[in-house]
Amino acid sequence: MRVNHVGEVCAQGLYNAQALTTSDPALRSQMLRAAEEETDHLRWTRDRLDSLGARPSLLNPLWYGGAFTLGLLAGRMGDAWSLGFVRETERQVEAHLDGHLDRLPPADVASRAVVERMKADEAAHAAWAQEAGARPLPPGVSTLMRMAARVMTTVAYRI
Ligand SMILES: [Fe+2]
Ligand SMILES: [Fe+2]
């Protein structure tokens, strides 16, 4: 759940940066709307951590800064690439949450409910980005993103 919480911290950084970098007002408000839903996710995962007696990642300021920088970079590539980055990110998060559901104990109904709801929201974010004109990312970029996510999840699991 700490890893999921870090993911939502990153989502804040990404969407806020990408809302800042687009010059299209409609796209900006959609980015901010997605960021708002990510704020719900942030709260739900934090609440679960608290009830489980676990702490959030100590590196959260770092995760946020890294994600914000990545969001700025994606945003500066233009809206189609920026949306492509959103779609790929959300798909990878959805796959991660799916894997987490497989590992979560069936008895932890509260955590399962949070993860299931977030998974549905992330899928909707990917679908929205697709409709808004996401450009498919080169396979090398998706692989790099997956590798970066693996480093993040491994570190955040512990620290
Ligand atoms: Fe989320
Ligand atoms: Fe999302």
pLDDT-derived band at 158 (thresholds 50, 70, 90) equals confident
- 2-158 in CATH: which number? 1.20.1260.10
Q: What is the mean pLDDT of the chain?
A: 94
What is the whole-number distance in angstroms between the Cα of residue 32 and the centre of ligand 1?
A: 13
Q: Is the per-residue pLDDT at 14 higher than 90?
A: yes
Predicted pLDDT of residue 81: 95
Please give the model's pTM, rounded to 2 decimal places: 0.90
Q: Which ligand is nearest to the CA of 128?
A: 2
Q: Long-range CB contacts (< 8 A, 24+ apart) of 137-143?
A: 137/81, 137/84, 137/85, 137/88, 141/88, 142/88, 142/92
Q: How far apart are CA 130 and CA 104, in angstroms?
A: 30
6 close to 57: Cβ distance less than 8 angstroms:
yes
> Does 78 score more than 90 pLDDT?
yes
What would the mean pLDDT of 111-119 be, rounded to a whole number? Answer: 96
What is the 8-class DSSP label of residue 112? H
Ligand sitting nearest the alpha carbon of 45: 1
Compute, in angstroms, the gap from residue 42 CA to the centroid of ligand 1: 7
Cα(113) to ligand 1 centroid in Å equals 14
In one letter, which amino acid is 72? L
Residue 157 clears pLDDT 90, i.e. is over it: no
Residue 8 has pLDDT above 90, yes or no: yes
